[in-house]
Amino acid sequence: MNNFEFSLPTKIHFGKGKINQIGDYIKTNGTRVLIHYGSERIKKSGLFEIVVESMKNQGINFFELGGVEPNPLLSKSKEGIDICRSNKIDFILAIGGGSVIDSAKTISLGIPYDRDVWDFFINKATPKSAIPIGVILTIPATASETNSTAVITNEAIHSKRHIKNDLLKPVFAIMDPELTFSVPPYQTAAGCIDIMAHVWERYFVDQPQSYLLDKMFEAVLKTIIQYAPIALREPKNYKARSEIMWASSIAHNDMLGSVGDFACHGIGLQLSALYNVTHGASLAIAIIAWAKYVYKHDINRFCKFAESIWGIEQNNMDPELTACQGIKATEDFFNSLNIPTKLSEAGISSDQIELMAEKAVDNGLGYLGLGFVRLYKEDLIEIYKLAY
Amino acid sequence: MNNFEFSLPTKIHFGKGKINQIGDYIKTNGTRVLIHYGSERIKKSGLFEIVVESMKNQGINFFELGGVEPNPLLSKSKEGIDICRSNKIDFILAIGGGSVIDSAKTISLGIPYDRDVWDFFINKATPKSAIPIGVILTIPATASETNSTAVITNEAIHSKRHIKNDLLKPVFAIMDPELTFSVPPYQTAAGCIDIMAHVWERYFVDQPQSYLLDKMFEAVLKTIIQYAPIALREPKNYKARSEIMWASSIAHNDMLGSVGDFACHGIGLQLSALYNVTHGASLAIAIIAWAKYVYKHDINRFCKFAESIWGIEQNNMDPELTACQGIKATEDFFNSLNIPTKLSEAGISSDQIELMAEKAVDNGLGYLGLGFVRLYKEDLIEIYKLAY
């Protein structure tokens, strides 16, 4: 087993009805709160009203900033930083999924920093402090509600970058599965693929593997495979929504280790940054193309995946066949959730391949792949071609 | 899935060589430290010296109190409280397994409390503060290094009680598997059974079950079944020791939920409190006898256990047979680790049964079993009889 560091200071309040105590959870952390959110859906659904009432009962002042979009923009976070400074905000409440939470995290870093918050995303500076944030999770996918990561898009230069820092772990996360009943099928499916991708990135790494972690990876993957279709068919199925919600946090808050390859995230990132493809959908495309390109690096590992996740019987005469069948089963599963696995289906023309490959390795390292196969621009061109 | 609350603020430093930074980890938390430990083994092994050197390099003052025994005694903790008060200790470093950590936790609660620390264990008072503690784990079993629980024996009245409070979560835990190479076979085996017991208590509860948690329970149980025999055969097998060590924390720090039945712990507790049977060994006896008494409450659940953990094919004509085969397989496994599953083998005579049953329900509730079958004194007499 690899060495690791782990802590999860975020207080998780998981389950039905937890939303009703929101005022209590906030009052020990702040008195002047920015409520940060995405679409107006939270007002139509009544969620916003519940939150505001609970805060008013605790005498908490609040300001609001909505309009965070998928693949959240630096400009929106900067708008938030200005509002927070002007109004002496001491706590940020993010209501939403990964995009809103990451935007809130960016604001929380920017408030006490007197230069450009983007500095933190390009390793030009290291954060020293941040305003505390809390989360009401409405779309389970990125695990941002319990992890130390934020991803933001600097739209001026078409660049999507991430930061990882313990200061970014929220002080609390309300994970009430009923709040996800209204997530539309496409976002539900994309979120589920994101969850699987977080495990995938950790599963396909070089030695040493861990027996325990492998079994836990399988636990998360099988949970999504079991419950994503149910959540699509029956959006108000509490069991399905709760299994997916807890799986999402476990998959990417380093409880299952922080060592991963993350090439697929790098490949998908370009589809989001350049063409605004939903994060989870971009990962479906990236995972399948990547797997087709790299599986020969460790055929046994791909065979194990095929067997333990998809129940595909190991073909000892032709392990390559087993490996490819596992990849195909994964692709079929993504498609069964109505998520395309081809760039062409996402409306991206093939003359963009070189640009995407170039941007993908423009990450300060010059390559993708931290733990399995190192991929340079030429490799990425081949991978993007495989995605057609 | 059940509602739950979860956080894990303890900073876990897991892996080979982590022990060498101990001074760094302490210095941000305290400057006058009590080193609390069990046997002199840590001095012979050189571990104590490494710790002391690292602390000296950081200018940290230290005092020491060894001699904590398995089933740690209240009197020892009180001795620690006196030493800490006299020497203005601001941090406690526990070097050991669950017993030492629980003794340290008891000291940490007692220092700022001006009455008898036992009050907290009999619900006569609720702790308001505690001195921070850190852990160097040398025996993986109880998960006390990352959880909020302490168990202590008040030897004056032969009573073993527990407390659960977030104040008791250590600020850091060094989990270096190499430190467990020297754990003797009996303690290794007893620790592994304790780990399995923590999952067992959570597995056999009434609805609602969680698909994800079931898979994670299986992950932990199968890890122990796979690696306990290896650790006994090859004490210096790093992989085996590391898998067991991480499994131990996961099993009982509420990462897999806090809802459990805990009747087996209550049954085993009497064997430890009255006859000083090692905690893990007492659980082997308790689990098997308990299972034989209650399995009819949910035969399907016991069949699922038999099938998924032991690979026993479900006998649809006779599910009771499958259930009993699963219990038998568990008993055989415990015995294969040289841990007895009979009271007679532990040298406890049958005329003690009534006393044990009486003590077992003298827990403020009047019964055992929080989530599966509620057991009163008469039930416990039958269960202890089944243990002969």
For B265-306, how does the pLDDT look when each residue is reduced to its tens digit (9 = 90+)? 999 988 887 888 888 899 999 999 999 999 999 999 999 999
Residue B176 DSSP one-character state: -
User: How close is the nearest chain A Cα to the Cα of B37, in Å?
Assistant: 24
List strand residue ranges (DSSP E) for chain B, in order.
4-14, 32-37, 61-65, 91-96, 133-137, 149-154, 159-164, 172-175
Sorted by where each begins, the domain ranges of chain B are 11-180, 185-386
Instruction: Give the model's pLDDT for residue B147.
Output: 95
Measure CB to CB from residue B243 to each of A211, A226, A242 and give the nearest one.
Answer: A211
Q: What's the CA gap between B33 and A34, in Å, rounded?
A: 42
Instruction: Tell me what percent of the residues of chain B surpass a pLDDT of 70.
Output: 100
User: How close is the nearest chain A Cα to the Cα of B5, in Å?
Assistant: 5
Instruction: Give the model's pLDDT for residue B275.
Output: 83
Q: Which residues of A touch B216 (CB under 8 A)?
A: 215-216, 219
Among B48, B3, B41, which Cα is nearest to B22's? B48
Residue B206 DSSP one-character state: P
Among B259, B148, B276, which Cα is nearest to B198's? B259
Q: Best of B8, B145, B174 to disrupt the A interface by mutation (most A CBs within 10 Å)?
A: B8
Across the interface, do A7 and B5 touch by the CB < 8 Å criterion?
A: no
User: How close is the nearest chain A Cα to the Cα of B335, in Å?
Assistant: 23
Across the interface, do A8 and B13 touch by the CB < 8 Å criterion?
A: no
Instruction: Give the model's pLDDT for residue B122.
Output: 93
Using pLDDT thresholds of 50, 70 and 90, give the confidence band for residue B143. Answer: very high
Q: Which residues of A touch B255 (CB under 8 A)?
A: 255
Q: What's the CA gap between B176 and B191, in Å, rounded?
A: 16
Please give the average per-residue pLDDT across A141-161, as a whole number.
Answer: 92
For CA atoms B111, B88, B86, B74, the dihedral sign is positive
Instruction: Give the model's pLDDT for residue B371.
Output: 94
Q: How far is CA A76 from the centre of its chain?
A: 19
Measure CB to CB from residue B210 to each of A13, A212, A243 and give the nearest one.
Answer: A243
Instruction: Give the model's pLDDT for residue A155.
Output: 92
Instruction: Give the model's pLDDT for residue B273.
Output: 77
Q: Which residues of A touch B25 (CB under 8 A)?
A: none
Across the interface, do B1 and A212 touch by the CB < 8 Å criterion?
A: no
Please give the average per-residue pLDDT across A131-156, as a whole number.
Answer: 96
Instruction: Give the model's pLDDT for residue A208.
Output: 78
Across the interface, do B10 and A7 touch by the CB < 8 Å criterion?
A: yes
B11-180 and B185-386 agree in CATH topology: no
Specify the CATH number of the domain A11-180: 3.40.50.1970
Across the interface, do A13 and B5 touch by the CB < 8 Å criterion?
A: yes
The amino acid at residue B68 is V
Long-range CB pairs of A362-367 (<8 Å, 24+ gap) are A362/A159, A363/A161, A363/A266, A364/A122, A364/A123
Task: Count the neighbouring beta carbons within 10 Å of the beta carbon of residue B289.
Answer: 26
Minimal-distance CA residue of chain B relative to A170 = B7
- Per-residue pLDDT tens for B204-230? 999 778 999 999 999 999 999 999 999
Q: ipTM score here?
A: 0.94
User: How close is the nearest chain B Cα to the Cα of A76, in Å?
Assistant: 30
Q: What are phi and psi of B64, to 5 degrees?
A: -140, 150
Cβ-based neighbours of B255, under 8 Å, separated by 6 or more: A255, B6, B8, B249
Instruction: Give the model's pLDDT for residue A14.
Output: 95
Residue B3 DSSP one-character state: -
Instruction: Give the model's pLDDT for residue B272.
Output: 83
Among A188, A195, A177, A181, which Cα is nearest to A247's? A195
- Per-residue pLDDT tens for B244-265? 999 999 999 888 888 899 999 9
Contact residues of A toward B, CB < 8 A? 1-18, 177, 208, 210-212, 215-216, 218-220, 222-223, 226-227, 239, 242-243, 246-247, 250, 255
Instruction: Give the model's pLDDT for residue B220.
Output: 98
Indicate the range of A251-260, B97-106, B109-118, B328-337 predicted with least confidence: A251-260
For tokens 């059940």, what's the residue? B2
Does the pLDDT value for residue B347 go beyond 90?
Answer: no
Across the interface, do B242 and A13 touch by the CB < 8 Å criterion?
A: no
- Per-residue pLDDT tens for A250-289? 999 888 888 899 999 999 988 887 888 888 899 999 999 9
Minimal-distance CA residue of chain B relative to A171 = B7
User: Which two structure tokens, joined as six digits, stand for B255?
Assistant: 């990462």
Which tops the pLDDT comparison, B161 or B117?
B117
Q: What's the CA gap between B4 and A147, in Å, rounded?
A: 18
Instruction: Give the model's pLDDT for residue A47.
Output: 96
Is residue A52 left, alpha or beta, with left meaning phi > 0 and alpha meaning psi from -120 to 50?
Answer: alpha
pLDDT averaged over chain B? 95
Across the interface, do A242 and B210 touch by the CB < 8 Å criterion?
A: yes
Please give the average per-residue pLDDT across B135-151, as a whole number.
Answer: 96
Instruction: Give the model's pLDDT for residue B70.
Output: 87
Q: How many CB pairs under 8 A join A and B?
A: 112
User: How close is the nearest chain A Cα to the Cα of B245, in Å?
Assistant: 10
Among B149, B88, B101, which Cα is nearest to B121's? B149
Q: What are phi and psi of A220, to 5 degrees?
A: -70, -45
Q: Which residues of B touch A176 (CB under 8 A)?
A: none
Q: How far is CA B88 from the centre of its chain?
A: 30
For tokens 């997916």, what's the residue? A244
For CA atoms B204, A228, A370, A148, the dihedral sign is negative
Across the interface, do B9 and A7 touch by the CB < 8 Å criterion?
A: yes
Instruction: Give the model's pLDDT for residue A346.
Output: 81
Encode burial over A295-305: b for 16+ CB neighbours within 10 A, e otherwise: beebeebbbbb
Q: What are phi and psi of B182, to 5 degrees?
A: -95, 5
- Per-residue pLDDT tens for A212-253? 999 999 999 999 999 999 999 999 999 999 999 999 999 998
Residue B23 DSSP SS3 = helix
Instruction: Tell me what percent of the residues of chain B surpass a pLDDT of 90.
Output: 87
pLDDT averaged over chain A? 95
Can you name the CATH fold of A185-386?
Answer: Dehydroquinate synthase-like, alpha domain (1.20.1090)
Please give the average per-residue pLDDT across A299-310, as a whole number.
Answer: 96
Is residue B276 left, alpha or beta, with left meaning phi > 0 and alpha meaning psi from -120 to 50?
Answer: left
Across the interface, do B211 and A226 touch by the CB < 8 Å criterion?
A: yes
Environment class of B138 (CB within 10 Å of its CB; exposed 0-12, middle 13-18, buried 19+): buried
Instruction: Give the model's pLDDT for residue A1.
Output: 87
Q: What's the CA gap between B344 and B348, in Å, rounded?
A: 6
Minimal-distance CA residue of chain B relative to A249 = B255
Using pLDDT thresholds of 50, 70 and 90, give the confidence band for residue A54. Answer: very high
Using pLDDT thresholds of 50, 70 and 90, give the confidence band for residue B61. Answer: very high
Instruction: Give the model's pLDDT for residue A150.
Output: 97
Instruction: Give the model's pLDDT for residue A276.
Output: 80
Whether the bond into A208 is cis, omega within 30 of 0: yes
- Per-residue pLDDT tens for A316-370? 899 999 999 999 999 999 999 999 999 988 888 888 899 999 999 988 899 999 9
User: Which two structure tokens, joined as six digits, stand for A145?
Assistant: 């509600």
Please give the average per-residue pLDDT across A69-83, as a whole number.
Answer: 96
Instruction: Give the model's pLDDT for residue A152.
Output: 94
What are residue B133's DSSP bridge partners? Answer: B92
Q: Which residues of A touch B210 (CB under 8 A)?
A: 242-243, 246
Does the pLDDT value for residue A301 go beyond 80?
Answer: yes
Q: What's the CA gap between A290 and A261, in Å, rounded?
A: 11
Across the interface, do A4 and B12 touch by the CB < 8 Å criterion?
A: yes
Q: Which residues of A touch B240 (CB under 8 A)?
A: none
Measure CB to CB from residue A223 to each of B5, B9, B212 and give the nearest one.
Answer: B212
Measure CB to CB from residue A215 to each of B15, B17, B222 and give the nearest one.
Answer: B222
